[in-house]
Structure 1
Amino acid sequence: MLKKLLVSGAALAFAFAGAPALAQQAAPAAPAAAVATRDADPALWVVKDDDTTIYLFGTVHVLKPGLSWFDEAVKTAFDKSDTLVLEMIEPDPATMQALMMKMVINLDGPNLSAQLPEEKRAAFAAAMSEAGTPAAGYERFDPWFASLVITLTKVAKLGYDPNQGAEKTLTAAAKAAEKPIVGLETAEEQLGFFDKLPQAVQVKYLEVTLDQLPKTGEMLDKMVESWAKGDPDTLAAVMNEGMAETPEVNKAILVDRNVRWADWIAERMKKPGTVFIAVGAGHLAGPDSVQTYLAARKLKTERVKY
């Protein structure tokens, strides 16, 4: 489902970069048409006390070229910060490849297509074929990984690119400025949130992905437009479409992580300094946002004005 592109982190987008060894060859992104750069003003929040300032910035892990967002308030906050904090620090491709081989292949049990309702199997086979994955390969995938491959293949064909995502820009800027980069999680942890889901939940997640596939472009365009306008309420409303069908996934990849991150922020507030935290925009939107759990810890977040 598209929500993974707003909450599940750079690990999942990066995982797909290593997927060709498993899925043969990822579909290339559609050639980007020449577009004029347009201004984007994504939402930015701050938590602070006398000697500590923590900025909270919501990212989109895949974007099209042409959005100018790393400027104005976002750039000012980044420049003031001593440290960049991301959901995770990308491991090298060889490490990620080894991790994926361990986590996404299931050699036991029935073929994946046999676990789907009969009426979903043709759509599943077609989607995996579009991703360039032979049946002999995808039948042994874990359902969550098949869902990822299907989604990111569609997204790439629509012109969205993880190399245009906010994390890439922020990481490059931090390295150029010699700022330390910290990960809230590891790649293994991020992939594990999906891999540890019960099999029945993973299969249901794959079914919902297939159902939503025809409207991927419309939904993702609306999400990115809401992000660019700094409208977290609309973003949350779009994200929540279909999530009622898989509450276990919502808990694992959104709610539980937001609770842990609020704890991390509360602990970090005890030390002086300025920190720029960049996580998927979905974590900073809706009733289960990081800000909600910070409020429960008596920490007030304020929206930064442009």
Structure 2
Amino acid sequence: MPLRKSSLKATLNRILALPGLLALAACGSEPGPASEVTAKPILLEVASDNGAVEGWLFGTIHALPDGVSWRTPALKKAIKDADLLVVEVANLDEGSELTDIFVRLAFDEPTGPLADRIDPALRPQYEVLLTKAKVRSDHFDAMESWAAALTLAQVVQVAKTENGVDRALIRDFKGRDIIEIEGGEKQLRIFDALPEQDQRDLLDAVIAETRDYDDDMGRLARIWSEGNAKELAKLTREGILADPELYEALLAGRNRAWTAQLENLFSTDSRPLVAVGAGHMFGPDGLPAMLEASGYTVRRVQ
């Protein structure tokens, strides 16, 4: 039978990896490493025009395999020196609450069988995903196209959201202020507000990307761990973000909204550690470029 609201909680809790889809062009599947991996992800310092450090930008990844050590000395110092933490979604451990929001939005306006909404050339890969998910061909028909896209992205997700950097940082800042710059419902409404054709473009892009996972299983996690700015920047123009409308909705437009909020925070006496998806850090539409245009100095310290 098609997926119903009553069964969604039991089958779709892994939708909490959603921010990983928003952060970069790939969802970031990765097998568990055989041994401990020491990561050195990108950390940026934000200073005012007089040279005073106002805070830090840290590009995160929302799902990782086991055994990745990413708390470097430089990051530990930033965590210690920061007065507050800024994240995209603060209640990542509230799986039931986020799933309820997803359910409320995902079933409003389905537009027929999902297979009919997919590029015919991608239908064989869609069948592969249905097999991996162990569900019938009509399982996702009751869902809107954007919701089906996010759900299908989780079918090949091997990295664990419980290892996500955002979650760990929220625990690190227990007892200190944590500010949610966007929130789970607002993130999901970005997708829900997309025109149907853009939703179908998203669906096609997600399905197309899954064809490459077996060949390049750890690309996102690997280049994030290496702090490879050049390769991370490339990801912000690939996959779902290669589509101009999706790029604007999922990256550039959100960065503009966030920059206005961050300018207010950086102007206070408190110094925030801003930990958002690494894809938000690159190019003329990235947070560093937008903050520099507002008069701040942003430099890489790791």
TM-score by length of 1: 0.83
Aligned match of 1:164: 163
Tell me, in whole angstroms, the C-alpha distance in 1 between the residues paired with 2:215 and 2:97: 35
- Divergent runs of 4+, >4 A: 30-34, 217-220
Pairing of 1:219-230 with structure 2 (within 5 A):
219=216, 221-230=218-227
Give the alignment partner of residue 96 of structure 1, picking from 95, 98, 109: 98
Structure 1 residues 259 and 25, CA gap change in structure 2 (3 angstroms)? same
CA drift at 1:97:
2.8
Structure 1 residues 104 and 25, CA gap change in structure 2 (3 angstroms)? same
Tell me, in whole angstroms, the C-alpha distance in 2 between the residues paired with 1:269 and 1:153: 39
Give the alignment partner of residue 256 of structure 2, picking from 256, 259, 276: 259
Aligned match of 2:34: 35
Q: Contact 2:255–2:285 (CA<8 Å) still a contact in 1? A: yes
Structure 1 residues 140 and 129, CA gap change in structure 2 (3 angstroms)? farther
CA drift at 1:48:
2.4
Give CA-to-partner distance per residue, 1:152-194, whole Å, 9 cap, x none.
22022xxx1101110121111111xx11111001211000111
Aligned match of 2:22: none
Q: Contact 1:155–1:217 (CA<8 Å) still a contact in 2? A: no
Structure 1 residues 144 and 109, CA gap change in structure 2 (3 angstroms)? closer
Structure 1 residues 143 and 272, CA gap change in structure 2 (3 angstroms)? same
Give the alignment partner of residue 301 of structure 1, picking from 276, 298, 301: 298
State how many pairs are aligned. Answer: 281
Structure 1 residues 220 and 260, CA gap change in structure 2 (3 angstroms)? farther
Aligned match of 1:121: 123
CA drift at 1:35:
2.8
Give SS of 2:139's match: helix
Give CA-to-partner distance per residue, 1:214-261, whole Å, 9 cap, x none.
212555622222211222121111342234652111111100111111
Structure 1 residues 258 and 240, CA gap change in structure 2 (3 angstroms)? same
Aligned match of 2:11: 25
Tell me, in whole angstroms, the C-alpha distance in 1 between the residues paired with 2:223 and 2:128: 31
Tell me, in whole angstroms, the C-alpha distance in 1 between the residues paired with 2:242 and 2:226: 28
Give the alignment partner of residue 276 of structure 1, picking from 273, 277, 298: 273
Q: What amino acid is aligned across from residue 85 of structure 1 in structure 2?
A: V
CA drift at 1:134:
3.5
CA drift at 1:60:
0.6
Q: Contact 1:128–1:138 (CA<8 Å) still a contact in 2? A: no
% identical aligned pairs: 24
Tell me, in whole angstroms, the C-alpha distance in 1 between the residues paired with 2:108 and 2:217: 30
Aligned match of 2:18: none
Q: Which runs of 5 or more structure 2 residues have no equivalent in the other structure?
A: 15-28
Tell me, in whole angstroms, the C-alpha distance in 2 between the residues paired with 1:290 and 1:231: 17
Q: Contact 2:280–2:286 (CA<8 Å) still a contact in 1? A: yes
Aligned match of 1:68: 69
Tell me, in whole angstroms, the C-alpha distance in 1 between the residues paired with 2:299 and 2:30: 39
Moved more, 234-243 or 278-287: 234-243
Q: Contact 1:23–1:134 (CA<8 Å) still a contact in 2? A: no
Structure 1 residues 61 and 194, CA gap change in structure 2 (3 angstroms)? same
RMSD of aligned residue pairs (Cα, Å): 2.7
Give SS of 2:259's match: helix
Q: Contact 1:236–1:282 (CA<8 Å) still a contact in 2? A: yes
Give SS of 2:63's match: coil
Moved more, 35-44 or 74-83: 35-44
Q: What amino acid is aligned across from residue 72 of structure 2 in structure 1?
A: D
Q: Which runs of 5 or more structure 1 residues have no equivalent in the other structure?
A: 1-18
Pairing of 1:45-56 with structure 2 (within 5 A):
45-49=44-48, 53-56=54-57
Give SS of 1:273's match: coil
Moved more, 116-125 or 295-304: 116-125
CA drift at 1:24:
5.6
